[in-house]
Amino acid sequence: MLGPTLETSRLVLRPPRAEDLDGWAAFAADEASARFVGGVQPRAVAWRSMATMTGSWALMGYGMFSVIEKASGAWVGRLGPWQPEGWPGAEVGWGILKEHWGKGYATEGAAAAIDWAFDILGWPDVIHCIDEENDPSKEVARRLGSVWLRSGWLPPPFDTHQVGIWGQSREQWRQRAR
């Protein structure tokens, strides 16, 4: 087992498994879902993306979780801690399939992942790298209590334009929880 399983009232967060490929591929193939995370990609690239996250779990002890809807058992997205080489900080990011937008899953799952990153991984702060045009993700960041910190760049091959770096410290997160 690569990592923990986290549960919220409506979601199960767990490291990716081979059986998640159809969900990852659907996410990568959907123009709206994939718009701000590299754009539409074929199934073979979705497999490599999923394998990258699995590799992060093996190498770093963390990576994005597969997000499973408890009520249906459906794969609805991926989110969680992420800091590949050259990244501008320790990120908790999210990506939910368009058909599940508007249900609060990104906020609910990211909150559980932030708790885990602060409490178990011991991160002192967390960021979210958000495209300037991605208003829904900015709203998720705000609901999580994060604020715009600065503009920044992602490493190649994602360095085509600046992103907004949002975030907060562990202390700010804990104050918010009170």
- Nearest CA to 95 out of 118, 75, 70 is that of 75
Q: For position 23, which CATH number holds?
A: 3.40.630.30
Q: What is the DSSP string of 29-80?
A: H-HHHHTTTT----HHHHHHHHHHHHHHHHHHS--PEEEEETTT--EEEEEE
In a domain, 117, yes or no: yes
In a domain, 1, yes or no: no
In a domain, 31, yes or no: yes
What is the band of 97 on the pLDDT scale with cuts at 50, 70, 90?
very high
pLDDT number for residue 33 = 86
Question: pLDDT (tens digit, 9 = 90+) per residue, 107-148?
Answer: 999 999 999 999 999 999 999 999 999 999 999 999 999 999
Question: pLDDT (tens digit, 9 = 90+) per residue, 45-80?
Answer: 999 999 999 999 999 999 999 999 999 999 999 999
Contacts of 101 (CB under 8 A, 6+ apart): 136
pLDDT number for residue 178 = 59
In a domain, 152, yes or no: yes
Give the total number of structural domains in the chain.
Answer: 1
Question: pLDDT (tens digit, 9 = 90+) per residue, 3-49?
Answer: 999 999 999 999 999 999 999 999 999 988 888 887 789 899 999 99
Domain residues for the domain of 36 are 6-177
pLDDT number for residue 83 = 95
pTM beyond 0.85? yes
Q: Averaged over 93-99, what is the pLDDT? A: 96
Question: Given strand 147-152, what is the order of strands in its sheet?
Answer: 6-7, 11-14, 65-69, 75-82, 91-96, 125-130, 163-169, 147-152
